[in-house]
Each structure stands twice: as C-alpha cells, then as structure tokens.
C-alpha cells in the first residue's frame, strides 16, 4: 500500500492532465484547479526550502561562531530583506531600488567574471583536450562565429562572400536540431516511464 498509492496517484494525475490537454471538453475545465494546486504546492515547497537554507546557516553559526561571518551576513541579509518586503511591500519603489542595488551589480559582475575565466580557459583548450575531430570543429566554429560577431570582420562587403557566410552560419542549425530532437526523445522516454509507473523518482530506494 505504501508503495502502490504514490504510483497510483502519479498515474492517475498524469492521465487526467493528458486527457484535459488533448481532449479538453469537460475534463479540461478542471485542469486550472489542478494546475493551481500544483503551483501553490510548489510555492509552499519553495518557502520550506528557503527556511531550511536559513536554518542550516544558523546551525553553522552556532557550531562555529568565529568562522561564520559569511553565514551571518547571509542570515542578516535574508532577515532584513524579508521583513522590509513584508512591511513596505515588495512593489515599493524604494524597496525595489534596495534589492536592485545589490542584485544587479553582483549578478552582472559574476557574469563578467565568467568572461575572463572563459578567456583563460580558451588558452588551454587544446592543451587539455587534444586535437581531434570534435575539438577542431569546435575551435573552428567558435573562431568563425567570434569573428562574425565582430563587425570589423565585415570591412569587405561582397554579396557572394555574404551568401557564403550566411550558409556557413546555418551549419550549427543541424546540430541544434539534432540536439533538440535527441534531448526531447530522452526526456519523453523518462516521462513515459514515470506515467507507466516504471520509474519512481519519489521512492526511497
């Protein structure tokens, strides 16, 4: 019973949603309720996860207060942001500015930092991965599209050259399409296995 009931719930929910989406009709009118139930459940789960995160940080501070300065900063920032949001409202302009003043510089800087890291990694690409069909095609394609992104590379305007460049720029479409189909097929298999009860991600074992 312990193991069959969750499987039964999974299968019945999946069949109901598929019937509502494909057939619609009377069944489809109950789909919004099911979706709302799922969304609210996910929101509650997200809150529980955030509470768990903060609890773990507090435990770390209790265990080792001397080396927990970053953890204290996290807990403090979380508390202040949460309380201010509940008091002033999350759509308050001053509150939004406070959040933006912290989030935007940090996230943009992180992404900018990754550009420098990618540049240094590019220097060692072939040293680490060697020279084979994959790495050569990767390198050639990357160089081509990097130069194409530089408008300086188009100092010579020639229709035939443009046509050739356009054709070459369509080459990644082949791989992208293959990747999309391949990944979708794999994901579809996993989803079907879940619907048929073969795969049980929620099981303990």
Partner 1 sequence: MSAEDYIICPHCGKENLIQATRCIYCKESLDLIPKAADLAASDEDLSEMLSAMAEEDGDVEMAAPAEDAGSLMPGASNPQPAPIDEVGGSNEIPSWLAHVRQRAQTEGDAQGLYNRESEPNSAQKLPGRESLDQPFNSWVGRIHDSLTTSDSSEVDMPVEKADEMPVWLKRVRDLQLQPDENTVQKPTGVEAWKQEWSEEDLERLKNGEFDEKTILQPNLLAQASAAETETAAEDVQNAAEKAGQKLAGAGSVEDFAEANVGASENLAVAVGEPTDASDAVAEQQGVGQHEAQAEILKEIVTTESLPRYKRTEEKPRKTDIWRWIGILFLLAMLVAFYLLFLKRPAPAPLANTAGTAFWNRLDSVQTSAKVLMVLDYQPATADEVHGNLQPVLARLKTQNVQLSLVALWPDGLWLGRELLEATALPLTTELNFLPGGSLAALASAAGLRPAGSTPENQTSLISNSVALTENDLIVYVTDNPESAKTWLEQVGSFLQPEQSLVVSTQASQVMLQPYYESSQIAGLSTSPYRADGVLLANNPTAAATPAFEAGMGVMAGFLVLSFFGRLLNTYKKKPGEDGKI
Partner 2 sequence: MINLDLIAGILGLLLTIMVFSYLAGDNLFFRLAMHLLIGVGAGYAAALLIQLVLIPHLVQPLLLGSGNAFYLSLAVCLFTLLLLTVFLGRFNHLARLPLAFLIGLIAAVSIFGLARGTLAPQMLAIVNRFSPELLYKDNLPDWMALVKAAAMLLGVIAVLLYFDHHFSRGQNNAKLAPLSENASGVGRIFIGITFGAIFAGVFATALLALIGRIAWIQNLLMRWLGY
Distances (CA, A) of 42 to 16, 34, 45, 79, 198: 19, 12, 5, 22, 24
Measured in degrees and rounded to the nearest 5, phi and psi for residue 158 equal -140, 125
For the chain, the straight-line distance linking the first and the last C-alpha, in angstroms and rounded, comes to 16
Q: What is the DSSP letter of 2?
A: T
Q: How far apart are CA 162 and CA 68, in angstroms?
A: 58
- Residue (49 or 155) nearer to partner 2, CB: 49
- Residue (13 or 96) nearer to partner 1, CB: 96
**Element containing residue 80 per DSSP (H, E):** helix 69-88
Q: Least separation, in Å, of the C-beta of 127 and partner 2?
A: 17
- What does the DSSP assignment read for 85-112? HHHH-TT-HHHHHHHHHHHHHHHHHHHH
Asked if 58 interacts with partner 1 (CB under 8 A), we say no
Asked if 169 interacts with partner 1 (CB under 8 A), we say yes
* Binder of partner 2 out of 59, 63, 64, 108 (CB under 8 A): 108
Asked if 151 interacts with partner 1 (CB under 8 A), we say yes
Q: How far apart are CA 179 and CA 185, in angstroms?
A: 10
* Binder of partner 1 out of 120, 133, 167, 205 (CB under 8 A): 120
Q: Choose the contact partner of 55 out of partner 2, partner 1, none; CB within 5 to 8 A by kind.
A: none
Residue ranges in 92-111 that form contacts with partner 1 under rule CB under 8 A: 93, 96-97, 99-100, 103-104, 107-108, 110-111
Q: Choose the contact partner of 162 out of partner 2, partner 1, none; CB within 5 to 8 A by kind.
A: partner 1
Instruction: Write the CB contacts of 53 (distance below 8 Å, at least 6 apart in sequence).
Output: none
Asked if 7 interacts with partner 2 (CB under 8 A), we say yes
Q: Least separation, in Å, of the C-beta of 52 and partner 1?
A: 19
Q: What is the DSSP letter of 21?
A: H
Residues that bind partner 1 (CB under 8 A): 20-21, 24, 28-33, 35-36, 38-40, 42-43, 90-91, 93, 96-97, 99-100, 103-104, 107-108, 110-111, 115-116, 118-120, 122-131, 136, 139, 142-143, 146-152, 154-155, 157, 162, 165-166, 169, 172-173, 176-177, 179-180
């Amino acid at each position: 019973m312990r193991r069959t009931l969750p499987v039964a719930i999974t299968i019945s929910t999946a069949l109901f949603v598929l019937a509502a989406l494909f057939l619609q009709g009377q069944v489809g009118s109950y789909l919004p309720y099911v979706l709302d139930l799922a969304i609210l459940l996910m929101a509650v789960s997200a809150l529980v996860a955030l509470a768990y995160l903060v609890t773990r940080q507090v435990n770390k501070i209790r265990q080792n207060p001397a080396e927990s300065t970053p953890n204290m900063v996290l807990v403090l920032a979380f508390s202040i942001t949460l309380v201010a949001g509940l008091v002033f409202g999350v759509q308050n302009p001053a509150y939004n500015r406070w959040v933006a003043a912290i989030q935007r510089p940090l996230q943009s800087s992180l992404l900018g930092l990754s550009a420098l890291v990618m540049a240094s990694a590019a220097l060692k690409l072939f040293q680490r991965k060697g020279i084979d069909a994959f790495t050569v095609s990767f390198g050639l394609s990357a160089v081509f599209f990097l130069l194409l992104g530089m408008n300086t590379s188009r100092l010579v305007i020639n229709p035939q050259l443009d046509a050739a460049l356009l054709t070459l720029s369509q080459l990644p479409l082949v791989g992208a399409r293959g990747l999309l189909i391949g990944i979708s097929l794999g994901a579809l298999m996993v989803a079907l296995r879940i619907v048929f009860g073969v795969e049980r991600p929620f099981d303990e074992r």
